[in-house]
A and B are shown apart, each in its own frame.
Chain A
Amino acid sequence: MVKEIERTGIPVVHICTIVPISQTVGANRIVPAVAIPYPLGDPAKTPAEEKEIRRAILEKSLKALETPITEQTVF
């Protein structure tokens, strides 16, 4: 899905836990996530801390979308 959306010219950032899969499949902008069942959270933390974690991943994702790249890049 990442690739076919990007094929239209829209940049896609892939937030995923298993980075090697994303690299194999061919995502170009990759941001590592926390864990498979909670990529953008952490139930062991307080709700406020979780929101911070989520925000940090999303901020990094916006940065990735603003960064010129020529090859697959893990941010």
Chain B
Amino acid sequence: MSYKIVHYINQFFAGIGGEEKADVAPESRPGVVGPGMAFKAAFGQNAEIVGTVICGDGYFAENMEEATAQILKMISVFGADAVIAGPAFNAGRYGTACGTVAEAVQRELGIPAVTGMYAENPGVDMYRKSVYIVSTEDSARGIKTAVPAMAKLTLDILKNGTAGSPEEGGYIERGLRVNCFNDKIGAQRAVDMLIKKLKGEPFKTEYPMPDFDRVAPAQPITDMKNATIAVVTSGGIVPKGNPDRIEASSATKYGTYSIAGVQSAEEVAYATAHGGYDPTYANHDPNRVLPIDELREMERAGEFKKLYDYFFTTVGNGTPVAAAKKFGTEIGARLKKDGVDAVILTST
């Protein structure tokens, strides 16, 4: 059977024009346009591109909601089985448009959508979790490999209802865990992996860790006696009663509380909201996590000038990296504004 496919592309690939034409509104044309020719060849008898929807990248970026709605409407008219978008290579606005359209197609029209982008296209981070994004080269030179890979993935999904693993499907990992059978139990696989690692042989993890970026070390404090120091914790110490209802795990917020005049984090006034460790010891003496008592003594002794009047706290327990990043950015901006010189951050 031949599947019906609709193709989404931008004004450039449609041959309308470059940046000067980026403001063109969505339009729909029957059949193939531009790179659709290559897809037509790749699909052969298996699928047919019944229509192409085009939108200027600038128009899309400036009218995202409206443009998405217009594009969806145009796509739906064709009664397609699947949608392909792009490939966008490393074009940021185009990648964002392809990801947005693909996600909306899946959600609103209930049919699969496949796009293609270079790994560092900002559209990847935005949509890799919800959309199949074939990994492409960074420029249109990569069209020769991108098109067959996108066509194959689209057909696999249509025929089998599954895209296979990221390696099999040639798409960027979506961060999903899939159950599968294996001849060897986990313990055996883990030991095999360890032996390979010890021998310096290549091995493949079954649970890749997230890639963490790096920040260069900040300059040290040269005049500690005149420094203002702030204390921050991921150990969940909050004023008793947890007034801001910081969650015991997967925290979505942090708290900012005044410690002006507070000489010690006493049991009567503070407790932990953290759900990831035994709270007995922290509740009995919150200074064990938020060391205000000794910091005050050091302040009095003149070791540093001042303990900043507020502490910041959250629960570091299954907290998404994106949330922690946001907390850090906001806390950092405030400390910078208030002239804080250094930070002590405690974690449980």
| Chain A residues near B (Cβ < 8 Å) | 1-17, 22, 24-26, 28-29, 33, 36-41, 43, 50-51, 54-55, 57-59, 61-62, 65-73
Interface band, chain B: 35 or more
Top 5 A-B pairs, shortest CB-CB distance: A4-B328, A41-B288, A1-B328, A28-B217, A11-B218
Given that A37-B279, A40-B287 are contacting pairs, would A4 and B332 also be in contact in the complex, using a CB cutoff of 8 Å? yes
Chain B minimum-CB-distance residue to A4: B328
Please tell me if the beta carbons of B331 and A1 are within 8 angstroms of each other in the complex. yes
- Expressed in whole angstroms, the minimum distance between the Cβ of A40 and any Cβ of chain B is 5
The 8 Å CB contact of A10, one of B224, B281, B304, B332, is B332
A13 surroundings in chain B (CB, below 8 A): 342-345
Please tell me if the beta carbons of A8 and B282 are within 8 angstroms of each other in the complex. no
Please tell me if the beta carbons of B293 and A51 are within 8 angstroms of each other in the complex. yes
The 8 Å CB contact of B328, one of A2, A16, A54, is A2
Given that A8-B332, A58-B298 are contacting pairs, would A39 and B345 also be in contact in the complex, using a CB cutoff of 8 Å? no
Interface centre among A14, A38, A66 (most CB of B within 10 A): A38
A26 to B345, CA, bound (A): 13
A68 to B314, CA, bound (A): 29
Please tell me if the beta carbons of A36 and B215 are within 8 angstroms of each other in the complex. no
Given that A36-B277, A38-B289 are contacting pairs, would A5 and B344 also be in contact in the complex, using a CB cutoff of 8 Å? no
- Expressed in whole angstroms, the minimum distance between the Cβ of A8 and any Cβ of chain B is 4
Instruction: Apart from A5-B335, A38-B288, A58-B298, list 20 A-B contacts with CB within 8 A.
Output: A1-B325, A3-B325, A5-B343, A10-B218, A11-B217, A11-B220, A12-B345, A33-B346, A37-B282, A38-B282, A39-B346, A39-B348, A40-B294, A55-B298, A62-B298, A65-B221, A65-B344, A66-B224, A69-B217, A71-B217
The 8 Å CB contact of A66, one of B220, B235, B329, is B220
The 8 Å CB contact of B218, one of A16, A28, A71, is A28
> Could you show 13 A-B contacts with beta carbons less than 8 Å apart?
A1-B327, A10-B336, A14-B345, A37-B277, A37-B281, A38-B289, A40-B289, A51-B294, A54-B288, A58-B298, A65-B224, A66-B221, A72-B217
Interface centre among A1, A5, A17 (most CB of B within 10 A): A1
| Chain B residues near A (Cβ < 8 Å) | 209, 212-222, 224, 227, 229, 232, 234-235, 277-282, 284-285, 287-289, 291, 293-295, 297-298, 303-304, 314, 324-325, 327-329, 331-333, 335-336, 340-348
The 8 Å CB contact of A28, one of B215, B229, B289, B335, is B215
The 8 Å CB contact of A12, one of B218, B277, B288, B327, is B218
Please tell me if the beta carbons of B342 and A65 are within 8 angstroms of each other in the complex. yes
- Expressed in whole angstroms, the minimum distance between the Cβ of B284 and any Cβ of chain A is 7
Chain A minimum-CB-distance residue to B348: A36
Given that A15-B347, A25-B212 are contacting pairs, would A9 and B336 also be in contact in the complex, using a CB cutoff of 8 Å? yes
Chain B minimum-CB-distance residue to A43: B281
Given that A4-B325, A65-B224, A71-B217 are contacting pairs, would A15 and B344 also be in contact in the complex, using a CB cutoff of 8 Å? yes
Given that A10-B342, A15-B347, A39-B235 are contacting pairs, would A58 and B224 also be in contact in the complex, using a CB cutoff of 8 Å? no
A12 to B118, CA, bound (A): 35
A54 surroundings in chain B (CB, below 8 A): 287-288, 291, 293-294
Interface centre among A41, A57, A59 (most CB of B within 10 A): A41
Given that A16-B346, A26-B213 are contacting pairs, would A41 and B285 also be in contact in the complex, using a CB cutoff of 8 Å? yes
A14 surroundings in chain B (CB, below 8 A): 345, 347
The 8 Å CB contact of A22, one of B217, B227, B303, B347, is B347
Please tell me if the beta carbons of A41 and B287 are within 8 angstroms of each other in the complex. yes
- Expressed in whole angstroms, the minimum distance between the Cβ of B334 and any Cβ of chain A is 10
Please tell me if the beta carbons of B282 and A6 are within 8 angstroms of each other in the complex. no
